[in-house]
Amino acid sequence: MIYWQLVVVFFKIGLFTFGGGYAMLPLIQQEISHHQWLSSAEFIDIIAIAEMTPGAIAVNMATFIGFRTGGILGSIVATTAIALPSFIFINSLARFWKTHREHQIVKRVFAGIRPAVVGLIGAAAVYIGQSILVVPAVANSVDASAIDRPSVLIALGVFVAVRRFKADPIHALLASAVLGLWFFS
């Protein structure tokens, strides 16, 4: 039963999400919550682990969630299910795209999809930010003391370092790990 649930959930996520792994996060979070496969804190931890490991974030998350819920076979099933729609879609539409990419209707469709992807990524960023940067006990509070200041400092530091100074993301992650040891010990 769990394997069929993994197929349905991750095939649906792969089929209906455009824009890559980050755009998939809201749908993955919704499905994980609905099936009660992980807690919110575990979901955030999975995002961090999936981000640090090689490969696409959504595939890494599917693999881990599949393993967590159904062992090795579960990880194979979830990973295959999330990748299969893209594989089918790309192979089916490669010729169409090559000959019709300059067509006005195709251009307009993609002009509508692109900002939607930005919105999905923004929604994921807000969810993750709220989950990480706010002290859990007072997450629903508007009190300024609810802000987890060390986490905010690390997040802002990494943002500025990568965006403004073009720091290597791997170095930023390593520096953040060291700061985490210092701030949170």
Q: Is residue 169 domain-shared with residue 180, that is, in the same domain?
A: yes
Q: Is residue 143 domain-shared with residue 127, that is, in the same domain?
A: no
Q: Which amino acid is at 124?
A: A
Report the number of distinct structural domains present in the chain.
2
Q: Is residue 36 domain-shared with residue 87, that is, in the same domain?
A: yes
Alpha-carbon span 169 to 173, nearest angstrom? 6
Residue 3 has a pLDDT of 97
Q: Is residue 47 domain-shared with residue 84, that is, in the same domain?
A: yes
Residue 153 has a pLDDT of 95
Q: Is residue 51 domain-shared with residue 129, that is, in the same domain?
A: yes
Q: Within 10 A of 24 (CB to CB), how many other CB atoms are there?
A: 27
Q: Is residue 129 domain-shared with residue 139, that is, in the same domain?
A: no
Q: Is residue 109 domain-shared with residue 148, that is, in the same domain?
A: no
Q: Is residue 111 domain-shared with residue 167, that is, in the same domain?
A: no
For residue 136, pLDDT beyond 80: no
Average pLDDT for the chain: 88
pLDDT digits (tens, 9 = 90+) for 26-42: 889 999 999 999 998 89
- Domain of residue 110: give its range: 2-133
pTM of the model: 0.64
Report DSSP letters for 36-103, one per residue.
Answer: T-S-HHHHHHHHHHHHHSSS-HHHHHHHHHHHHHHHHHHHHHHHHHHHHHHHHHHHHHHHHHHHHTTS
Q: Is residue 42 domain-shared with residue 116, that is, in the same domain?
A: yes
Q: What is the mean pLDDT of residues 149-154?
A: 93
pLDDT digits (tens, 9 = 90+) for 47-100: 888 888 888 888 999 999 999 999 999 999 999 999 999 899 888 888 888 888
